[in-house]
Amino acid sequence: MTTIAPSAGKYLGTNVHLLPQTDQLRALHTLVRDRNARREDFVLHSGRIIRLLIEAGLNLLPFEPYDIRTPVGGTYPGLRLAAELCGVPVMRAGESMETELRAVCPGMPIGKILIQRDPVTKLPRLYYAKLPADIAERHVLLLDPMLATGGTAVASVELLLEHGVSEDRLVFVNFIAAPEGVTAVCERFPRVRIVTSSIERRLNENAYMVPGIGDFGDRYFGTDT
Ligand code: URA
């Protein structure tokens, strides 16, 4: 297991919820990080990890008591979600997570954000956003599998806050994160929570995470040939 950089490690358990590093999760990571993985295997197994992340993200939302009767006449002292939700994938890689979110929460409103680095200024630039009109009343699952420098994540969170979403109602669901990205988001937005399945060692000179996974969007959508 890699040691987590202290700059990101200090947020663990408060702002950052790292999935339990079970053998099963590490075996799934082994399948998808392999540079020789076939695309269908990449899609299948990254989807399995994303499903775990979505469930962990839902676990951070408010629940209320809700008793039900079982088929044998017993009462189960249950719980149900006590929040209106909305998913917001960051195009394009975030759309890989939308598929899994829709499978778990069919009917949930889904917004969209497209933010990319401007080739001239090198700063994140908003190209497109479509969000539910009542997003300020909702808890939001922001979906982006890659948290590298944090530029896109910070710009996405800012956009959602501008639309009235409250910081503590925002859960950023992420596949792998660089310490730099974790620090950028947590320092700027101390009440936003991040769910991730791995914190990587570092960024390389091209802002790719190491050991990393390569270009997630290209590998998922098959545009890397
Ligand atoms: N985006 C990716 O797809 N991979 C990285 O490692 C960093 C950003």
96-138 pLDDT, tens digit each: 999 999 999 999 999 999 998 777 777 889 999 999 999 999 9
Pairing relationship of beta strands 85-91 and 112-117 according to DSSP bridges: parallel
Answer yes or no: are the C-beta atoms of 217 and 92 closer than 8 Å.
yes
pLDDT above 70: residue 7: yes
Q: Which residue puts its alpha carbon closest to atom 7 of ligand 1?
A: 208
| C-alpha 24 to ligand 1 mean position (Å) | 23
Helix (H) or strand (E) holding 61: none
pLDDT value of residue 1: 57
What value does the mean pLDDT of the chain take? Answer: 95
Q: How far, in Å, is the centroid of ligand 1 from the Cα of 67?
A: 44
Specify the pLDDT at position 153.
96
- Give yes or no for residue 179 having a pLDDT over 90: yes
Does domain 6-221 correspond to CATH entry 3.40.50.620?
no
- Over pLDDT 90: what percentage of the chain? 91
Question: Parallel, antiparallel, or unpaired: how do β-strands 16-18 and 75-81 relate?
Answer: unpaired
Res 189: pLDDT: 98
Catalytic residue among 48, 99, 202, 218: 218
Amino acid 69 reads R
**Rounded mean pLDDT, 171-186:** 97
Q: Quick one: average pLDDT of 146-158?
A: 95
User: 3-state DSSP call for residue 86?
Assistant: strand
Between CA 184 and CA 6 the distance in angstroms is 14
* Residue in 15, 12, 13, 24 with CA at minimum distance from that of residue 49: 24
